[in-house]
Amino acid sequence: MAVLFVRKAKRRANRPVPAEEAPLPVLDPSVPATTGWLVRGKDGRLTAYAPGDGGVLRWTETRPGGPDWTGPDLIPAPGMLPYLAVAQGEDGYVHLVGLRRERLADGQTGTDVVYALQYQTGRAVRDWRPLGTPYPNDPSLAGQIGLPSAVVDSDGSLNVFVRNAGGGVCARSQAKTGAWNAWADLKGSGVRGTVSAAITGDGRVEVLAPTAEGLLRWEREKPGVRFERADDVPLRAAPDSPTAVETDPEAGLTHFWHDAGDRTVRAWRPSLPEGAGLGDGTGTGPVAVLRTVVDGHDCTVLAHRDEATGRPALAAYPTGDEKAGATWTLTGSPSPGAPSLALDGAGRVVMAVVGADGALWVARQKPESGLALGAWERAVS
């Protein structure tokens, strides 16, 4: 296949939005970064989300393929920590999930996992609803849970996961009717950081949770049944870094993470039991991933925050052929969070970051062979 490469992009100056008109993200290095916050709606428009002061910030393309955006709009969410998990179903609905802490009447701190739903691109987000915690009667234990992650199953229902106070994993799943099941203890111990959850094309949900020795793993074959422990993965992943994408209907999901030792990106699936290294680029935070066709070839595209420079870095390789390796190319300016990847309404790869200036910056695939990104542009109206 053709050699994949990423051309370094230059930042183009745009008219800045006055500070008094544009709310800023809250960038807290003590809270782990997330990816998956750039999504495409049913109408082809992209939307980006980020934690803000007192809520969630949202930028929305004015038309499919851009380049203009509206926002950032503030979706109020008082008491929510500066962390956001984003999950989207096949119906295009976007589920926002976070963790809220509030002072209780008795002086203790109450903790709630909360979620909100956006049905259509650019439309209002429904009110935040509490999901509680696995410890409804013990605020002290509830305060020890980890930050939530989420996936939407083949019924269009939300499934939420947290590290519990004992170091295992708990899950709460919505039924097809919209009702919520009780928190379920999936067991496990020694979990560090957030949980990774992803779904296959046939509806199987897979959950991974890093520990100091390896990764714990669970599977659920279809909605309405219990999660079951699967074979653990005897490889060490940096906390908060695993993500996954389906790379083959037969092979299922391929999981990606930063190695706990050398911080390079590794890929794993049951048919790749020893895992595979993907280039020598080292990174921090979660690995962004998507699949697309480049020059007629099925490719897996990866992005992360470079460990040494703080800049976004991009790589690609033929899907399922980890032996081909991947070359990481730095692009753009340093950013404090993790990049996100999506395909826009024209089918182009888009990388987005929230810059050190608090603005949304976007680079799109150029119409030429290989995987070349155009200039970084600030998302403005």
188-225 pLDDT tens trace: 999 999 999 999 999 999 999 999 999 999 999 999 99
Contact between 47 and 345 (Cβ < 8 Å) = no
Domain presence at residue 228: yes
Mean pLDDT of the chain: 92
The pLDDT of residue 21 is 62
Tokens standing for residue 56: 């969630």
For residue 323, give its domain range: 11-378
Choose between 245 and 248: higher pLDDT.
Answer: 245
Evaluate whether residue 105 is within a structural domain. Answer: yes
Say if CB 53 and CB 4 are below 8 A apart: no
Average pLDDT over residues 89-111: 93
Q: How many CA atoms lie within 13 A of 293 on its CB side?
A: 5
Question: H/E element holding 38?
Answer: strand 38-40
The greatest distance separating any two alpha carbons of the chain, rounded to the nearest whole angstrom, comes to 65
Residue 374 in any domain: the answer is: yes
CATH number at residue 313: 2.120.10.10
pLDDT computed for residue 6 by the predictor: 38
Q: pLDDT tens-digit profile of 65-75?
A: 999 999 999 99
CB 349 within 8 A of CB 292: yes
| In-domain check, residue 118 | yes
Contact criterion met (CB below 8 Å) for 303 and 341: yes
In 3-state terms, what secondary structure has residue 141? helix
CA 319 to mean position of chain CA atoms: 20
The pLDDT of residue 5 is above 80: no
Predicted TM-score (pTM) of the model is 0.93
What is the C-alpha separation between 95 and 39, in angstroms, rounded? 11
Q: What would the mean pLDDT of 32-48 be, rounded to a whole number?
A: 97
Q: In 3D, which of 367, 352, 378, 373 has the Cα closest to residue 35?
A: 352
Q: Name the domain count of the chain.
A: 1
> Does any domain span residue 196?
yes
pLDDT of residue 249: 75
CA-nearest of 97, 101, 112 to 149 is: 97
* DSSP secondary structure code for residue 237 in this structure: B
